[in-house]
């Protein structure tokens, strides 16, 4: 059986953990300060990720400091600004309403980093707010990662080998995929699981879903397809067919998203109501119900609503159904490890297909 992350359970646990830690701390304090963030929980990795998210917000805010009247790049200004940043970093004071979102995000990131590092680094690289990944950002990230950092180190090394300071998100993700394929994740999370469980109840079976691999066609099915009964075939012929029985499954795995979707339609009876419902629509997002959106965000986009919205907007700009389907498969399905024949993916493809005449 294959273990697949239970994104809904991760979201629920991170929410519960956030509520517990936040209530415990703010029951006796109005604000939380830097040194207190580093001790908010016994899980050092969680505390560091809160700091990471805090300083990412700080960098985003300071990047807006531009003016046609003042030279922010002047040496004296830069020196004074760095002193200001250092002073401000020693005077962190965050109220509960602003701290909880930071804590919740860090809690979810901790879960992914601990139990599925590839998913964590994929989300960091595929940041919808940026089109490029910078070496300096990856090196900064090292300060906050204390577990499962092998892929991060390998990615930094790749940048250095290529002598590049930044690359587009797609290229960085391709490198990450290569690193993952060459060095599959070897993680041990028993100790971290115990630490998290001590803060807020958590068991391993909550984190993963067991997904059974698709069953290979039986020899009888293969014989029925060829019109030859096993009883009528000689020993050598039977042996040949038993050896090649998995080939149809292998071929099926290589089918494109469009082919998979068309096969799905062929396998289901089409009614007049179905034909009417499949008339082209003008906008994908407007035809996704609240329940569908919740399902897609949690089951396909790991609870990341921004990533879902960006994906829908991008798919809406495709010129043909084939282009949209292949983009869906390559950019989103492969990266997020979707089962392209799952009910959620098929339902998502069904909505997308209605956007196009062909």
Q: Kind and range of the H or E element at 246?
A: none
Q: Which DSSP symbol is given to 268?
A: S
Alpha-carbon dihedral 183, 172, 122, 124, rounded to 10 degrees: 130
Which pLDDT does position 89 carry in this prediction? 75
Q: How far is CA 227 from the centre of its chain?
A: 45
Alpha-carbon dihedral 156, 160, 164, 170, rounded to 10 degrees: -40
Joined tokens for residue 218:
């039986």
Angle 26-28-33 from CA coordinates, rounded to 5°: 60
Joined tokens for residue 282:
């003008």
Q: What is the DSSP string of 287-345?
A: GS-HHHHHHHHHHHSTT-HHHHHHHHHHHHT-SSHHHHHHHIIIIIIHHHT--TTSHHH
Q: What is the DSSP string of 208-243?
A: EEEEPPPPPPPHHHHHHHHT--GGGS-HHHHHHHHH
Which pLDDT does position 128 carry in this prediction? 77
Which ranges of the chain have pLDDT less than 50?
1, 221-254, 269-277, 358
Which pLDDT does position 267 carry in this prediction? 55
């Amino acid at each position: 059986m294959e273990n697949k992350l239970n994104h809904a359970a991760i979201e629920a646990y991170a929410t519960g953990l956030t509520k517990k830690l936040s209530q415990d701390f703010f029951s006796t304090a109005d604000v939380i300060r830097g040194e207190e963030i580093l001790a908010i929980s016994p899980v050092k990795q969680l505390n560091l990720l809160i700091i990471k998210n805090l300083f990412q917000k700080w960098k985003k805010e300071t990047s807006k400091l531009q003016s046609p009247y003042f030279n922010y790049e002047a040496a004296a200004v830069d020196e004074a600004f760095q002193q200001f940043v250092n002073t401000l970093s020693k005077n962190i004071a965050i109220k509960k309403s602003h701290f909880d979102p930071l804590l919740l995000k860090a809690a979810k990131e901790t879960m992914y980093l601990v139990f599925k590092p590839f998913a964590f680094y994929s989300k960091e690289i595929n940041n919808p707010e940026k089109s490029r990944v910078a070496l300096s950002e990856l090196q900064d990230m090292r300060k906050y990662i204390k577990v499962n950092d092998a892929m991060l180190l390998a990615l930094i090394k790749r940048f250095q080998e290529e002598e590049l300071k930044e690359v587009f998100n797609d290229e960085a993700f391709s490198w990450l995929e290569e690193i993952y394929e060459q060095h599959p994740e070897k993680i041990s999370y028993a100790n971290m699981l115990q630490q998290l469980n001590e803060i807020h109840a958590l068991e391993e079976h909550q984190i993963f879903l067991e997904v059974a691999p698709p069953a290979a066609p039986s020899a009888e099915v293969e014989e029925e397809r060829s019109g030859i009964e096993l009883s009528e075939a000689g020993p050598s012929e039977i042996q040949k067919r038993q050896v090649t029985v998995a080939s149809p499954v292998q071929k099926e795995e290589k089918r494109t998203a469009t082919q998979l979707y068309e096969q799905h339609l062929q396998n289901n009876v089409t009614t007049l109501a179905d034909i009417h419902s499949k008339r082209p629509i003008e906008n994908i997002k407007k035809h996704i119900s609240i329940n569908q959106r919740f399902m897609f965000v949690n089951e396909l986009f790991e609870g990341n609503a921004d990533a879902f919205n960006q994906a829908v907007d991008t798919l809406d700009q495709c010129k043909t159904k084939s282009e949209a389907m292949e983009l869906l498969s390559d950019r989103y399905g492969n990266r997020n490890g979707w089962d392209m024949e799952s009910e959620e993916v098929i339902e998502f493809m069904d909505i997308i297909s209605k956007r196009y005449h062909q």
